[in-house]
Amino acid sequence: MSIASSNTNMRVPAGFRNLLEGLAREVLREQPTNVVAFAAQHFQKLLEQREAGGIDPVTWGAMLED
Protein backbone atom coordinates (compact mmCIF):
# COMPACT_ATOMS: atom_id res chain seq x y z
CA MET A 1 0.00 0.00 0.00
CA SER A 2 1.39 3.39 -0.91
CA ILE A 3 0.13 6.78 0.12
CA ALA A 4 0.59 9.81 -2.09
CA SER A 5 1.86 12.78 -0.15
CA SER A 6 2.63 15.69 -2.44
CA ASN A 7 5.28 14.37 -4.85
CA THR A 8 6.49 11.64 -2.50
CA ASN A 9 5.19 8.08 -2.30
CA MET A 10 5.34 6.60 1.18
CA ARG A 11 5.02 2.86 1.79
CA VAL A 12 3.59 1.31 4.90
CA PRO A 13 6.18 -1.19 6.21
CA ALA A 14 5.35 -4.88 5.84
CA GLY A 15 3.49 -6.15 8.91
CA PHE A 16 2.64 -2.68 10.22
CA ARG A 17 -1.02 -2.86 9.25
CA ASN A 18 -1.37 -6.19 11.04
CA LEU A 19 0.26 -4.76 14.20
CA LEU A 20 -2.13 -1.82 14.23
CA GLU A 21 -5.16 -4.04 13.65
CA GLY A 22 -4.08 -6.22 16.58
CA LEU A 23 -3.72 -3.17 18.80
CA ALA A 24 -7.11 -1.83 17.69
CA ARG A 25 -8.79 -5.17 18.50
CA GLU A 26 -7.26 -5.21 21.99
CA VAL A 27 -8.22 -1.58 22.65
CA LEU A 28 -11.82 -2.28 21.62
CA ARG A 29 -11.89 -5.45 23.74
CA GLU A 30 -10.33 -3.92 26.87
CA GLN A 31 -11.65 -0.34 26.59
CA PRO A 32 -8.67 1.13 28.51
CA THR A 33 -8.95 4.60 29.99
CA ASN A 34 -5.35 5.38 29.00
CA VAL A 35 -4.95 4.16 25.42
CA VAL A 36 -1.34 5.35 25.10
CA ALA A 37 -0.20 3.44 28.20
CA PHE A 38 -2.18 0.41 27.05
CA ALA A 39 -0.53 0.55 23.62
CA ALA A 40 2.92 0.80 25.22
CA GLN A 41 2.19 -2.28 27.35
CA HIS A 42 0.77 -4.14 24.35
CA PHE A 43 3.86 -3.53 22.23
CA GLN A 44 6.16 -4.30 25.18
CA LYS A 45 4.50 -7.73 25.49
CA LEU A 46 4.99 -8.35 21.76
CA LEU A 47 8.64 -7.35 22.05
CA GLU A 48 9.18 -9.67 25.02
CA GLN A 49 7.57 -12.55 23.12
CA ARG A 50 9.84 -11.92 20.13
CA GLU A 51 12.96 -11.72 22.30
CA ALA A 52 12.00 -14.93 24.10
CA GLY A 53 12.22 -16.74 20.78
CA GLY A 54 8.55 -16.74 20.00
CA ILE A 55 6.93 -15.58 16.81
CA ASP A 56 7.87 -12.17 15.50
CA PRO A 57 4.50 -10.41 15.02
CA VAL A 58 5.89 -8.17 12.28
CA THR A 59 7.18 -11.08 10.20
CA TRP A 60 3.99 -13.05 10.81
CA GLY A 61 1.82 -10.05 9.92
CA ALA A 62 3.80 -9.43 6.74
CA MET A 63 3.12 -13.01 5.64
CA LEU A 64 -0.60 -12.50 6.26
CA GLU A 65 -0.63 -9.30 4.19
CA ASP A 66 0.93 -10.98 1.14
What does the pLDDT look like over 9-21, one tens digit per residue?
Answer: 888 888 888 889 9
In-domain check, residue 58: yes
In-domain check, residue 43: yes
What is residue 5's predicted lDDT score, i.e. its pLDDT? 58
Tally the domains of the chain.
Answer: 1
- Find how far residue 3's CA is from the centre of its chain: 18
In-domain check, residue 38: yes
Q: For the CA atoms of 40, 66, 53, 32, what is the dihedral angle to 10 degrees?
A: 20
In-domain check, residue 46: yes
What residues make up the domain containing 51? 34-65
35 has a pLDDT exceeding 60: yes
In-domain check, residue 15: no
In-domain check, residue 21: no
41 has a pLDDT exceeding 80: yes
43 vs 66, residue with greater confidence = 43
Distance CA 20, CA 24 (A): 6
Distance CA 60, CA 9 (A): 25
